[in-house]
Amino acid sequence: MLNNTLQTALNNQIKHELYSGYLYLSMAAHFEAANLPGFAVWMKKQGHEEAGHAMKIYGYIHDQGGRVTLQALDGPPTQFGSPLSVFQAAFEHEQKVTGLIRSLYDLASKENDYATQVFLQWFINEQVEEERNASQIVEQLKMIGESGPSLFMINAQLGARA
């Protein structure tokens, strides 16, 4: 059973995960408007993944006899710049989420909640992947520049995300 401190922290993480999904959806809308549908597909899929993370935590709270308490979400930015700047922002956001997950893990350790530590290990591993994916795209965009045929090639590549 979750103690109140961890329950509150996990509910707060649901909010952060849902906000992440909302942020990526806003980034997708930006790319749709910029006629970069492959970039938009990547961001939409990332947004769905983040919502899935929120639901994973939601289920865990219930499995542990806790209560989910949803919180209001802030609106994400609606104006973005170049593809590179958008992916740099996505990478920075993933680094922030990594910090939040690590803080949750530290709290579970402090509270001697071994089940929650094990549960959060999945998120720790997931954040390694999330940061790597965003970082790789940032580096590719730095190499190819802001326009030209290479941008359309990476647009097609991102649109093929499974």
pTM of the model: 0.94
What is the residue type of 157?
Q
Alpha-helical (H) ranges within the chain are 4-33, 37-63, 83-110, 114-144, 149-159
**Residue 80 CB contacts under 8 Å (≥ 6 apart), including other chains:** 26, 27, 30, 86, 89
- In tens digits, what is the pLDDT along the chain, a chain of 162 residues? 899 999 999 999 999 999 999 999 999 999 999 999 999 999 999 999 999 999 999 999 999 999 999 999 999 999 999 999 999 999 999 999 999 999 999 999 999 999 999 999 999 999 999 999 999 999 999 999 877 889 999 999 999 986
Domain of residue 72 covers 4-159
Our count of domains for the chain comes to 1
Angle (nearest 5°) at CA 38 between 145 and 153? 45
Domain CATH number, residue 138? 1.20.1260.10
Residue 4 CB burial class (10 angstroms; 0-12, 13-18, ≥19): exposed
Longest dimension (CA), the chain: 56
Backbone angles phi, psi at 68, to 5 degrees: -80, 130
